[in-house]
């Protein structure tokens, strides 16, 4: 029944209102709807409290909510690195349409990378050591999208395999990287620098070969992607990693190793950076 119907049935109170003959003077009837309303409101509050208790025991009736610190997102191990990137960006704001290198320590340790290619566009280096391809995906906004680059060259996946990831895992992460970038920046070109062979991780070479093949096959299906093969020229005649391209840790590149990378990567950068 509508509110006007209820008022008509149970009488109205007002200067010009005349009680209907069938209006009931009984106080129980007079208080019926206010009582029902109060009961319903209490039931709703109780149900909400029970629902909240079952969904989150820390918010049970009579208990205070948990402190903010206990439910905050844990800090990233690279927060300081990204803070340094942001500070550099404030000091010298990079223009849109840059050439952006991202990835793990093979990018971070490339001294002079920004001046290596003679590109007409600004070249940015945003490597964060120890990172995996999955970390690049998690940090897409502050790693790639904020710069709106013309081309992004990514070196990652090496650490994913070393941490126990499979070639299929690395492929899925690269696909997620591509999808995330292209949802925000559909015109940005993405080039994958193949996972390198290193003496320290010689046992991973078969998995590296498989991963590189999977990614190369995926890249071939998309004209906005390229696969840059630094893997093959880093092998000797027996198919082993060339030790002379690495520093003492047998994992990171020396000047000769980076000179090889520059010669292989340069044509891709110069073509996309015109």
Q: Which of 18-22, 163-167, 179-183, 186-190 has the lowest mean pLDDT?
A: 18-22
State both tokens at 1: 């029944």
| Alpha-carbon distance values, 146 to 93, 141, 180 (Å) | 11, 6, 12
* Domains of the chain, first to last: 3-70 (no CATH), 81-272 (3.40.50.1110)
Angle at Cα 256 formed by Cα 250 and Cα 259, nearest 5°? 125
pLDDT 10s digits, 72-130: 445 778 888 999 999 999 999 999 999 999 999 999 999 999 999 987 889 999 999 88
d(CA 106, CA 170) in angstroms, rounded, equals 17
d(CA 193, CA 196) in angstroms, rounded, equals 9
d(CA 268, CA 98) in angstroms, rounded, equals 14
d(CA 62, CA 50) in angstroms, rounded, equals 12
At 153 the three-state DSSP class reads: strand
Q: What percent of the chain has pLDDT over 90?
A: 65
pLDDT 10s digits, 193-220: 999 999 999 999 999 999 999 999 999 9
d(CA 191, CA 269) in angstroms, rounded, equals 9
pLDDT at position 115, please?
Answer: 93
| Alpha-carbon distance values, 58 to 38, 51, 69, 163, 201 (Å) | 28, 12, 14, 35, 47
99-103, strands of its sheet edge to edge: 123-127, 99-103, 151-155, 189-193, 225-228
Going by the DSSP 8-state scheme, the letter that residue 226 receives in this structure is E
């Amino acid at each position: 029944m509508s509110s006007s119907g209820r008022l008509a049935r149970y009488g109205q109170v007002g200067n010009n209102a005349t009680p209907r003959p069938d209006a009931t003077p009984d106080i129980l009837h007079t208080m019926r709807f206010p009582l029902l309303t109060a009961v319903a409101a209490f039931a709703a509050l109780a149900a909400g409290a029970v629902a909240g208790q079952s969904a989150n025991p820390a918010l049970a009736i009579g208990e205070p909510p948990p402190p903010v610190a206990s439910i905050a997102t844990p800090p990233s191990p690279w927060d300081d690195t990204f803070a340094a990137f942001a500070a550099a960006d404030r000091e010298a704001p990079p223009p849109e349409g840059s050439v952006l290198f991202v990835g793990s320590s093979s990018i971070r340790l490339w001294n002079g990378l920004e001046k290596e290619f003679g590109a007409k566009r600004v070249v940015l280096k945003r490597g964060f050591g120890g990172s995996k391809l999955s970390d690049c995906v998690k940090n897409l906004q502050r790693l790639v999208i904020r710069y709106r680059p013309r081309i992004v060259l990514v070196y990652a996946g090496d650490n994913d395999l070393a941490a126990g990831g499979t070639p299929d895992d690395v492929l899925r992460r690269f696909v997620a990287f591509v999808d995330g970038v292209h949802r925000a920046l559909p015109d940005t070109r993405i080039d994958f620098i193949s996972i390198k062979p290193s003496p320290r991780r010689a046992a991973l070479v078969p998995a590296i070969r498989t991963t590189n093949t999977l990614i190369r096959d995926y890249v071939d299906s998309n004209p906005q992607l390229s696969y840059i093969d630094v893997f093959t020229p880093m092998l000797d005649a027996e198919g082993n990693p060339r030790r002379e391209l690495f520093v003492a840790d047998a994992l990171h590149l020396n000047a000769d190793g980076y000179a090889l990378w520059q010669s292989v990567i340069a044509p891709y950068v110069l073509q996309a950076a015109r």
